[in-house]
A and B are shown apart, each in its own frame.
Chain A
Amino acid sequence: MTLPEREGRVFSRYLLGSVADGSILDTYAAAVGSGAAGACPEPGAFDRFLTWMARLNPVATRAVDVYTRYFFPAAPVRKRLILMLAILECHARPYAELDTVDGGGRGLIYFRIGRAALGSMILLVLAAVFLSPLRVVMGGRPTVRS
């Protein structure tokens, strides 16, 4: 399995909750391979580390994602995540999963959203504590900024 294929599997699991179809993973790997829309340059060591970490598993992906969302929104790894999301939403089955309202009443929906948001914020703090020193050690900020 090539790195973009492995990355596609982890990223689709992270975004969808399940691994996307083979054709979608192939599309993603081809897009990354072709340098789609500037999503690929990884000039800095810290950029490379973030991408490596995001490939580990969906929890690590989420930590990297929320960290880059706040500190480096245009980091290559976040662009790749958005590329994967864009590819997923162009296909009927993943799109249905991404766009189906959760069951339960409005109160339950608010509770779930609140819980997810709280989890995201806690993860942001943990990611910042772990990644910020690394950023300093690895030679500063990623070279791609918004």
Chain B
Amino acid sequence: MATITVVGSGASGVHFALSALHKGHRVRMLDVGKTGPAAMRPEDSFTQLKENLANPIDYFLGSDFASVVYPDRSAEFYGFPPGKDYIFEPVPQYQIEAREFAPLSSFARGGLAEAWTGGSYPFNDAELSQFPFGYEDLAPFYEAIARRIGITGAKDDLADFIPMHDELTEPLRLDPHSVQLMRSYARRRDALREGQRCHMGHARLAVLTQDRDDRHACAYLGRCLWGCPISALYTPQVTLEECRRHPNFEYVPDVYVSHFTYGDDRRIESVRFEHLDGGEPETQAVEALVLAAGALASTRLYLESIYHATGRVERLTGLMDNRQILLPFVNLSRIGKPSDPDVYQYNQVALGLEEAAPEEYIHCLVTTLSTALIHPIVQGVPFDLRTSLRLFKNVHAALGLVNVNLHDRRRDESYVTLEPDGAGGRPRLVVAYSTPDGERPRLRTTIRRMKRALRTLGCIVPPGMAHVRPMGASVHYAGTLPMSEREQPRTVAPDCRSHDFENLYLVDGATFPFLPAKNITFTLMANAARVAETAF
């Protein structure tokens, strides 16, 4: 059995590792692995924390008030929670320059999915049409992941676009606003489905609705944004801990892998890494190397390895990300009702907009804003704060937010490359994104369609409140080393083995040849499990 070296502990890395361990392989995982604080008062709800914490400011805003959202910052509707700062804490070795792109990188134990919202939507055949396999090939791995982590779902109108696989658990209890939206949809179903090609259903979520092992069923504490204190909302650290209990698993944290070395036969011989606390860099021999550091970080490692070996700076084209639009709305029939803070905080309902080309399906997540901090929202209301607060408290239960996701395709104009430091130091990663032709009309049309659908549901979008997020904001990066059945440079085979290096595998988003509008994490996990099963 092989000893496999995995770089990165995110969603792809841990599910590859666990699948490989189940097959009897030995796995060594190299990781920066920054960790966060322990959960505070895990039994308390969002409102109880405000009552019971000695210093609620530290929890909600941070001791330096860094989570306060001011008008001159981005127009987001959430302040980033201080307890999750560690997820995006940089390391000095990783220097990045972005053009028309706002990249987020994580060096946390568990990776970027430590801050995800749990959306678990399998790709269908149309969305996989550019992949070298179809839904039937991936379905067993979707099911395996669902069995591992717990995913809620129900057969509803979205099943036409989001395949139903086995192992789904019962949906979460909907909050009153989501219940009302579903009722509105049921009443106007024909008009929405046939007239507007708009469909609604339950969100598919990596959240437990029954206790499992060390994790508890969702207790509707309203604390998801700050980190689920009872691990009902799955994060990759859960699987990492499962790996660590396995005798064939070795976890090496606090190291930054700079590059790999290879011989003339294009076979990787070793990885070179630095300890975060200093000291001499180390070299470790590898038998098989699996990059799972996230699309950008894995691409950096790949490029830097070639640069070290040859002095050549390569450019990997095809970078993709989902464009996102945030549309806040007011549900008129909920005005004047009290808001319920004891809810699952993220999206419970999803909407889908059909497009002429089925792979261009638009995926929308509806969040009802029951327990978000209010100051980022109130400051956007077009009155003084006192008046805005009066308005807010009477419409709080009626507020919602639709997060619209759009697909992306590989294009040569969007790329990742290195920029060598003239003084002979470490090269910098350059990420450049070029907006495709026709983006403005696409955004306009999508916003118009979504507003119309919301109106049909009895909701209005306040004028001027639609927010098109910058590219990079969705953190669904993909496409720089895509899967290809043809053996060509800078691609990977269908089993994700590199066509350039025979013992190198990539299992993160870098290998996706197309990016559907859906959240990619579930497919990343399923694909990583598929690679472990089929390539090793």
Contact = CB atoms under 8 A, between A and B. Distances in A.
**Same complex origin of A and B:** yes
B339 A99 contact: yes
B64 A144 contact: no
Contact-size category for A:
35 or more
Nearest to B335: A106
B279 interface: no
A13 to B, nearest CB: 10
A113 B394 contact: yes
Contacts of A91: 50, 56
Interface in B44-87: 47, 50-51, 56-57, 59-61, 64-66, 68-72, 79
A34 B57 CA distance: 15
Contact of A15 (B79, B383, B389): B389
Contact of B394 (A74, A102, A146): A102
Interface of A, secondary structure class, is helix
B337 interface: yes
A106 B57 CA distance: 34
A120 interface: yes
Nearest to B374: A89
A86 B338 CA distance: 21
Interface string B353-394: 000000000000000000001110011001111110111111
B385 A79 contact: no
Interface string B17-47: 0000000000000000000000000000001
Contact of B50 (A95, A101, A117): A95
A101 B375 contact: no
B386 A15 contact: yes
Nearest to B79: A86
A83 interface: yes
Interface residues of B, number: 41
Contact of B390 (A79, A85, A112): A112
Contacts of B281: none
Interface stretch (A2-10, A61-69, A133-141): A61-69
Interface string B69-109: 11110000001000000000000000000000000000000
A128 interface: no
Contact of B65 (A14, A69, A83): A83
Contacts of B66: 37
Interface string A14-38: 1100000000000100010010111
Given A37-B66, A90-B56, A99 B393 contact: yes
A82 interface: yes
Given A78-B71, A89-B373, A99-B393, A27 B57 contact: yes
A79 B71 contact: yes
A50 interface: no
A73 interface: yes
A120 B383 contact: yes
A113 B65 contact: no
A145 B71 CA distance: 9
B70 A79 contact: yes
A95 B379 CA distance: 16
Given A79-B70, A91-B50, A86 B375 contact: yes
Contacts of B379: 73, 82, 85
A146 B66 CA distance: 18
A22 B420 CA distance: 55
Given A66-B387, A101-B393, 10 more contacts: A70-B382, A82-B69, A86-B79, A98-B374, A102-B336, A102-B390, A102-B393, A105-B336, A112-B390, A119-B387
Interface of B: 47, 50-51, 56-57, 59-61, 64-66, 68-72, 79, 335-339, 373-375, 378-379, 382-387, 389-394, 396-397
Closest 3 CB pairs of A and B: A74-B72, A66-B384, A36-B65
Interface of A: 14-15, 27, 31, 34, 36-39, 58, 62, 65-66, 69-70, 73-74, 78-79, 81-83, 85-87, 89-92, 95, 98-102, 105-106, 109-110, 112-113, 116-117, 119-121, 123-124, 144-146
